[in-house]
Structure 1
Amino acid sequence: MSENTTSRPRPELGGNLLGPKPTFLPDELDRPVRDREGDDPKKVAADHPTSPLAWALLAQESSADGDTIEAYAFARVGYHRGLDALRRAGWRGQGEVPASHEPNRGFLLCLLHLARAAEAIGETGEVERLRDFIAESDPSLSDATTLAP
């Protein structure tokens, strides 16, 4: 019987075989924005620039007004603000970011708006990466077109 010479790392005994734990953003990140529903989204974003939800709402408004480039830019800012917040919450570049956790929704909305705007301007590669990111973040969103903030 031939011996397998390919060395594969073995999982550590007692190690996590399921992958990284889900990441939950802190409530205080988007709560001030949710508390100001109905206010001018630009004023809200200016007052709370680290909130992904503030940027998602600006992207949503721009998209509804037919300004795809502005929607793309706002969603991109929110995406980066969300990545910063995820890293502070312990996220290491992979794992779920469940939509069932309300504070995660601002970031996830940015992903959805960014994917839509990227598709509208023909950024095919970016659309594919964003769809993969959305599906990895929360598999229930892989076919989502909307997500309530």
Structure 2
Amino acid sequence: MTSFGDLLGPQPTLLPGDDEAESALLNGEDPAKVAAEHPTASIAWAYLAEAAHERGDTIAAYAYARTGYHRGLDQLRRNGWKGYGPVPYSHEQNRGFLRCVAALATAAKAIGETDEHARCLDLLEDCDPHAAEALGVE
């Protein structure tokens, strides 16, 4: 059974994460430096997107979030994800990707890109029905 109770659905995808990038960020290293040194680490792009959003730079937030989202999709596919199925928020290493999707939803909403906003919310719901609430996105 999958983590969301679908007996016939795919097993949850659990990303391996990037220990070096995550450690650098937790130790206060500049997220731009971490993203440059670990460009495949969605978590670094999530930090950049969230910081850009906080300072009111919506276009930068959108760009950072989209980069992290695409890097996360690449990593998900390399780990067996077929474009659907659970990507649990409870798995810490999945959070970089999910945070980028949430940041992209927020930035898309801010610039009036309603279709993209809706797609991001749908993706979060498909990945984990609790992710949007945990990430504070609507």
Unaligned runs of 5+ in 1: 1-15
Distance 2:53 2:117 in 1: 16
Q: Is the 8 A contact 1:30 1:106 kept in 2?
A: no
- 1:35 corresponds to 2:31: no
Displacement after TM superposition at 1:144 (Å): 3.8
What is the RMSD computed on CA atoms of the aligned residues? 1.6
Unaligned runs of 5+ in 2: 1-5
Displacement after TM superposition at 1:31 (Å): 1.8
State how many pairs are aligned.
Answer: 130
Q: Where does residue 21 of structure 1 map in the other structure?
A: 11
What pairs up with 1:125-136 in 2 under 5 angstroms?
125-136=115-126
Q: Where does residue 88 of structure 1 map in the other structure?
A: 78
Change (3 A) 1:47 1:146: farther
Displacement after TM superposition at 1:19 (Å): 1.1
- 1:121 corresponds to 2:103: no
The worse-fitting range, judged by mean Cα deviation, of 30-39 and 91-100 is 30-39
Q: Is the 8 A contact 1:112 1:145 kept in 2?
A: yes
Deviations 1:127-148 (A, max 9, x none): 111101000101112334449x
The aligned amino acid for 2:20 is P
Deviations 1:72-112 (A, max 9, x none): 00000000000000000000000010011111000000000
Please give the TM-score of this superposition, normalised by the length of structure 2: 0.89
Q: Where does residue 5 of structure 1 map in the other structure?
A: none
Deviations 1:35-65 (A, max 9, x none): 1121111111101000000100000111111
Change (3 A) 1:81 1:121: same
Please give the TM-score of this superposition, normalised by the length of structure 1: 0.82
The aligned amino acid for 2:129 is P
Moved over 2 A (4+): 142-147
Q: Please state which structure has a larger fraction of its residues in helix.
A: 2
- 1:103 corresponds to 2:93: yes
